[in-house]
Amino acid sequence: MRPKMRAATLAAGALCVALSASACAGAGGGNSAGDPNSISVLMVNNPQMEDLQRLTAENFTKETGIRVNYTILPENDVRAKISQEFSSQAGQYDVASLSNYEIPFYSANGWLAPLDDVAADPAFDQDDVLPAYTASLTGEDGKLYGEPFYGESSFLMYRKDILDARGLTMPAKPTWDEVADIAAKVDGAEPGMKGICLRGQPGWGQVFAPLTTVVNTFGGTWFDKDWNAQVNSPKFTEAVEFYTKLVREHGEAGAAQAGFTECLNNMGQSKTAMWYDATSAAGALEAQNSPVKGKIGYAQAPVKETTSSGWLWTWSWAMQAASKKQDAAEKFIAWASSKDYEELVASELGWAKVPSGKRISTYENPEFQKAAPFFEAERFAIENADPKNPGAQARPAVGIQFVGIPEFAALGTNVSQGVSSAIAGQGSVADALAKGQEAAQKVGDKYKQP
Amino acid sequence: MSTLTPAAPQNSGPARSTSPTALNTGSRAARRRGKARMDPTRNNTAAGIAAWLLALLFAVPVLWMVLTSFHSETDAATNPPSVAANLTLDAYREFFGETSGVSPWPSLINSATASILSTVLVLLLAFPAAYALSIRPVKKWTDVMFFFLSTKMMPVVAAILPLYLFARTVGALDNIWFLILMYTSMNLPIAVWMMRSFLAEVPEEMLEAAQIDGANLLLILRKIIAPVAMPGIAATALICFIFSWNELLLARVLTGVVAGTAPVFLTGFVSGQGLFLAKVCAAAVVISLPVLFAGFAAQDKLVQGLSLGAVK
Amino acid sequence: MTTATARISRPGHNAANPSREAKSRERALAWARRAPLLPALVFLILVTQLPFVATLVISFMNWNSLSPDKTAFAGLENYATVLTDPDLRQAIFTTILLTVSVVLISLLIGLGLALLLDKKFLGRGLARTLLIAPFLVVPVAAALIWKHALLNPTFGLINGVLTWVWSLFGSAEAPQLDLLSQAPMMAVILSLVWQWTPFMMLILLAGLQSRPMDTVEAAQMDGATPWGIFRHLTLPHLRQYLELGGLLGAIYIVQNFDAVFTLTAGGLGTANLPYAIYQTFYFANEYGLASAAGVVVVIGTIIVATFALRTVFSLFKKEAAR
């Protein structure tokens, strides 16, 4: 009898707790969701966003009285949730972190509200925003649909000390052949250190972000201007084979699963001497507690047939068209992308953590220049990135490391599976690209003029 | 006379005319007898050692997770693993929102609410259903069982869209009660299947004998069915609780800023651009604690099964 | 053989209209039996069948969420794509391989563990808790631990232990595994077996503890060997629990998504059906195609399960005579 009584009391107790808790949860929810002075923001969990979340209550909410409820998710998850939310205009979130990839076609579908009010505000100073971003976030109708939170291009990061010890110098604008050469020479410079770290993880935004820039500078392209797929063309193939060979010979272990974080880890732990990736990585490498602070040199994204090859990317704020709190949302966006916010971060967390890469004034700020030794390289990379003309031939759609069509996410990810397999040594580049060509042509056919 | 027959049907055993009233007094003595006979200490040391070795082997990833949660982020990512690295509570501080200003408590409370209420609901629905499929089976109970199972054959990810659209239309997005409904329907088939198997253990002769003696339903439930089925009910409740607590996909899609559950909160730490392992480990440790307690509580009931030997 | 009800039958009543009275009593009896089942059944029908019908309807549509103006009825086009697409066919094969290996291995290990835990020894409760621990960790966190803390070729525990063990023997060149790149299926299977063995163990343990001990005692008194007891008494009793664990485990592991998503992102041939559907939904935004894939999975699983339950499994057979 006793065990049953215990079980019954346990169950009853749990029920009471649950009911009272649900009452609390429900009550709390009602207040914040329906409250006109609160907005909901859905964003990716990059460090800059996490800092934003940290600083909101004490600053934005205090000043304006608007409470911000955040939902933070990893990139793939947040993309999925954003796509579902915005395509159905569910109205659960007022603001979301989108990129210069989605904003053009999301706005074309009418899912976003224009941010002209924010841009028109002189305090916001839209002219201070790098023109490349303003252009890439403008919709077909000429209205601005996104405000950048931070921007990045890509460049080559290398260990100055390791190269010096070997008597090597890295030119400011290296070619890929030079980089491969140096990688071979510094491979194994320290125990466990590899020559270079390059992404290999499947995903259109993982391996194909750097790889597409390599394809561009080798003279290849995903589609020619008539939407003929060029995935297994000689130049594209050459580029992918070069990349695969470099990674397999002098790249990190487990390259087929290595994404941004793995390479960041490797670089920070001195497991690699060079790394070609996003300029935003430099902030983490030059942070206070980074083991390699001060040891990194920065060179432009390696080229071959073009004069530049860095990509262009920005995580931006976009407002859902179905949002019922557009005024409050606009205030939030104006604050998060403002100069004041950058200075706030600088004073609270240091200049290296500022969400940079979007404002000219930041680059010209001497304190930022001191804390971010990479600022010149970064600014040069961003200003020389041309989404309309990134390679050796005309393109049918904008985008440097992506093709600005909705189908590219699936296409790029699809083809990347084969490339990752090749990097893992389980399949040939030729096969991967042959399959990729088929898939790409299907997409191209959809866009060809009848 | 030896009762050792190959493939002896488990429910029969030698005919025992145990009347319901004799149940209580007979059990304790029989339990003692059963224990003494069943477990010569000699066997148990070997079994104990083997069990402990396997337990440690299985627990290594979990123990490593706990250890990593007490390391700093850079220490958490070194090779060979730095077991002796400095211990720090930084990861836990981050989890509890010291630096980010975001408290995990709302999501933990949401998880608790959803899991407990859905498990209670599942048990309330599943027990009678299992009863109707085993002890007093309906006609075509096999078809019913199959139907229950078939509801779990659709991958959740494929069915999410209609659920999302429906919830959006009726305004049930970001609502904990909708989530509870979903979890109940998610766990109900498994609960019915499991409980049916356990209820099927109840010996028929005892039920008949009890009815002949005029016992009413409540008495039958308490004295005959419950002792046999308790370990099964405990196992079922524990499993349903675990599945609800750990569920991620539905929670991520159907909730927003209010009804987010603990696993969704945890994935928020998985950064694509920074070190996150210590934080995720800390989050996983804290989030696993309630389930651990539930496991402890349910173990009691599982152990109760030892008394069964005497009931028969 | 009908079991007597708790109601006392009145001999006098039947004399007047035996057949009608008997029939209505039969019907009342049948409904009394069905009644406890109805709440669960009705609830489940409402909550699962309506979405299923909706998914079915969507599967006949050509619906890409990024081009909402091009939504149209597409007939069986999506099904044709699902059945001919080589990636989806590979996903089917992967799913089968994953499910069969994980279920069989974890059943085997779970059986061994349940048998061990059935015996009394020092610290059994603690050992049992440690063994359930893998099942308690949030699956996505467990997958992350496996990916970053254990299997990572540079920083992982497995390679770290190998290095350490080899260094004990004075060698600095320990073999370093890179399961995630070289044998990704094994990595996924390993992490899933680790996670699901406790589930099997729980079911089998509960089954072990519900077996009649009197026959075992009698057999022991008669001098039967432990192996004999196991083979002739324990195993037949456990058979239905093994089948239960196997069936339930299979249903869950077919649906498994977190492990593939986190460990390998579906790369290197490890994409199983739920992951492929997820990709179709969220990367390609092809709602119609993904729904069709879901329906195909349901139909396929129903066929396999029907076959399994009717022939291989005894779960239903012996009870049918009741």
Q: What is the ipTM of this complex?
A: 0.81
* Residue B174 CA from chain centroid, whole number: 25
Tokens linked to C181: 């790149």
pLDDT the model gives residue C136: 84
Task: Flag whether residue A61 sits within 8 Å of chain B, measured between CB atoms.
Answer: no
Question: In the prediction, which pLDDT does B79 show?
Answer: 55
Nearest to B267 among A15, A24, A74 (CB): A74
- The whole-angstrom separation of Cα A345 and Cα A48 is 10
CA distance B246 to A392: 50
Give the C-alpha separation, B203 to B312, whole Å. 8
- For the domain made up of B105-306, the CATH class stated in words is mainly alpha
Q: What is the DSSP string of C4-64?
A: PPSSPP-HHHHTTSHHHHHHHHHHHHHHHHHGGGHHHHHHHIIIIIHHHHHHHHHHTEE-B
**Residue B261 — pLDDT band, cuts 50, 70, 90?**
very high
Q: Which pLDDT score, from 0 to 100, does residue B209 have?
A: 83
- Pick A28's closest partner by Cβ from B99, B106, B253: B106
Q: How far apart are CA B146 and CA B193, in angstroms?
A: 10
For chain C, the average pLDDT equals 82
At B268-293, the pLDDT tens digits run 888 877 778 888 889 989 998 888 88
Percent of chain C scoring above 90 in pLDDT: 14
Length of chain A: 450
Q: Which residues contact A16 (CB under 8 A, 6 or more apart)?
A: none
Chains that touch C (3 or more CB pairs under 8 A): A, B
AA identity, residue A303? V
pLDDT exceeds cutoff 80 at A26: no
Cα dist from B239 to B99, B186, B295, whole Å:
35, 12, 9
Higher pLDDT, A224 or B38: A224
Where are the domains positioned within chain B? 45-88, 105-306
Residue contact C297–B44, C-beta within 8 A: no
Which pLDDT value is given to residue A15? 57
Span A73-95, pLDDT tens digits: 988 889 889 998 998 899 999 99
> Left (φ > 0), alpha (ψ -120 to 50) or beta: where does C212 sit?
beta
Nearest neighbour of B78 by CB, restricted to A42, A53, A269 = A269
- Tell me the average pLDDT across C100-118: 91
Q: Which residues contact C288 (CB under 8 A, 6 or more apart)?
A: C58, C59, C60, C61, C62, C63, C64, C74, C78
Highest mean pLDDT among A34-43, B75-84, B122-131: B122-131
Cβ neighbours of B206 in C, within 8 Å: none
Q: What is the mean pLDDT of residues A360-377?
A: 91
- Cross-chain residue pair A29–B174, CB shorter than 8 Å: yes
DSSP H or E segment with residue A147 = strand A147-152
Residue among B76, B81, B248 whose CB faces C160 most closely: B81
* Contact in structure between B123 and C242 (CB atoms under 8 Å): no
Chains that touch B (3 or more CB pairs under 8 A): A, C
Peptide bond preceding B80 in cis form (omega within 30 of 0): yes
CA–CA dist B255, B248 (Å, integer): 10
Flag if B272 and A261 touch (Cβ within 8 Å).
yes
Residue A274, strand partner residues: A158
Per-residue pLDDT at C267 exceeds 60 = yes
Q: Give the pair of three-digit tokens for residue C221.
A: 């008194």
All residues of chain C having their beta carbon less than 8 Å from the beta carbon of residue B129 are: 36-37, 39-41
User: What is the average pLDDT across A366-392?
Assistant: 90
> Which chain A residues touch B106 with a CB distance below 8 Å?
25, 28
| pLDDT confidence of residue B7 | 37
Which residues of B are less than 8 Å from C203 in CB distance?
194, 235
Strands A274-278, A154-159: pairing is antiparallel
List CB contacts of C181: < 8 A, sequence separation 6 or more.
A254, A255, A256, A257, A424, A425, C153, C268
pLDDT exceeds cutoff 70 at A131: yes
Chain B CB within 8 Å of residue A40 CB? yes
Mean pLDDT value of segment A63-76: 91
Q: Which two tokens stand for residue B67?
A: 């250890």
pLDDT of res. A150: 93
**Which residue shows structure tokens 């997820």?**
C278
pLDDT at residue A147 is higher than 80 = yes
Least reliable range by pLDDT among A56-65, B102-111, C218-227: C218-227
The yes-or-no verdict on residue A112 having pLDDT over 90 is yes
Residue B228 binned pLDDT confidence (cut-offs 50, 70, 90): confident
3-state secondary structure of A152: strand
Q: Does the pLDDT value for residue A308 go beyond 80? A: yes
User: Is the Cβ pair B231, C210 closer than 8 Å?
Assistant: yes
> What are the pLDDT digits (tens) for C163-189?
878 888 877 776 777 777 778 888 999
CB neighbour class for A84 (10 Å; exposed up to 12, middle 13-18, buried from 19): buried
Q: What are the chain B neighbours of C43 within 8 Å (beta carbons)?
A: 125, 184-185, 188
- Residue A43, both tokens: 């964003």
Does the structure show a pLDDT above 90 at C110?
Answer: yes
Average pLDDT over residues C184-204: 90
Other C-beta atoms lying within 10 Å of the C-beta of residue A247: 26
Distance between start and end Cα atoms, chain A: 80
Confidence of residue A18 (pLDDT cuts 50, 70, 90): low
Select from A256, A321, A414, A415 the least CA-distant residue to A85.
A321
Q: How far apart are CA B190 and CA A444, in angstroms?
A: 46
B52, B254 contact by CB (below 8 A): no
Query: In this predicted structure, which of A436-450, B5-19, C239-253 has the lowest mean pLDDT?
Result: B5-19
User: Which residue from A78, A38, A63 is spatially nearest to A338, judged by alpha carbons?
Assistant: A63
Q: What is the DSSP string of A226-275?
A: T--B-TTSHHHHHHHHHHHHHHHHHS-TTGGG--HHHHHHHHHTTSBSEE
Residues C197, C106 contacting (CB under 8 angstroms) = yes
Is the minimum CB–CB distance between A266 and chain C shorter than 8 Å?
A: yes
Q: What does the pLDDT read at residue A10?
A: 53
What residues in C contact B10, CB-CB < 8 Å? Answer: 211-212, 236-237
Residue among C62, C64, C66, C85 with most chain A CBs within 10 A, to mutate:
C66
